[in-house]
Amino acid sequence: MPQPITNAETISRFNSTTIVCKYCGVTIPLAGNNNHVSFYNSRKGTFDNSIELSFGSNTKTFPYLEVHFVECATCFETTIFVYLVTEKEGKNVKFNIKPVSNASIVPSFVPQEPAQDYYEAVLIAEASPRASLTLSRRALQGFIQDKFPNIQKGNLYNEINLLDNAVTSPVKMALHALRDLGNIGAHPKDIAENVTQDEALHATKIIEFIIKKWYIEVHEDEEALAQIVSDSQRINPNSNLGE
C-alpha cells in the first residue's frame, strides 16, 4: 500500500501553495498542517503484480504515478489528480480524475446551455481541439443571444458587429477571432495547420472572460446595490430614496 508523503510534493507539482475548488470556487491552502491534502506515490509500493518499484536517494524508477487528493473544507468535495511521471526532469502527463474537467465554476444564474458548451469545450480540448473550438464558438453565440436579446439572431459575424456600444474594440476583435477559429469545425479544409490543445484552451479563456464580465460581475454589482438600499431602509424606514 503506497504511503502518503508531505504536502510539499503537492505544492511542487501545482507550483502553488493554493488551488481553487472546482466545485464551490473556494481557495484551498496546500501548505502547513493540512489534513485535507494527501499525496501518494507508486514508487513507495507495488506498481502491479510483477513489478516492484523502489524509492530511495539513488533509485528513481520511471515511469511512476502520483495521486493527489485535495478535500475542500467548505463543500467537502474531493479533487483528485493523477500524474504519470515519465522522466527524471519531471516530464509528465496529468489526468483529471475528479472532476474530469478543468472548467471554471459557472454559477447557476449563468444561462446553462452555453455554459454546458463551455464546460464540454474545456473537457475535450486535449482529445479534439477542433471540436472544442466549435463548442466555444457555439457558447459565444449563445451568450450573445442571451445577453443582447434585441440583436437579430442568425449570423454570428453580424451579431458581434452589433455589439459596438457594448464591448471595447479589443474584446470585439477577440470575439471575431473566436468566431473565425470556431468555423474550422464546419470548414476544416480552410485550415493549413492542425489546431493544438493550447489554442483550443485559449478560446475557452474568452468564454470565461464573457462569463465573468457579463454575468458574475454584473450579479455582484446588483447584489451590492441591493444591499445598500436594504441597509438604508433598515436604518431609516422613512427615508426617501427618490421614488
Check pLDDT > 90 for residue 138: yes
74/110: higher pLDDT: 110
Q: Distance between CA 96 and CA 156 in Å, rounded?
A: 33
How much is the average pLDDT of 52-74? 64
- The predicted-structure confidence for 175-221, as pLDDT tens digits, reads as follows 999 998 888 765 655 555 678 888 899 999 999 999 999 999 999 99
Residue 47, Cβ density class (10 Å: 0-12 exposed, 13-18 middle, ≥19 buried): middle
pLDDT band at 56; cut points 50, 70, 90: very low
How much is the average pLDDT of 28-47? 60
Task: Note whether 144 and 151 are within 8 A (CB).
Answer: yes
pLDDT band at 74; cut points 50, 70, 90: confident
How much is the average pLDDT of 154-178? 90
Per-residue confidence (pLDDT) for residue 91, from 0 to 100: 55
| Whole-structure pTM value | 0.71
Per-residue confidence (pLDDT) for residue 43, from 0 to 100: 56
Average pLDDT score over the chain: 78
How much is the average pLDDT of 141-163? 89
Q: Distance between CA 136 and CA 207 in Å, rounded?
A: 7
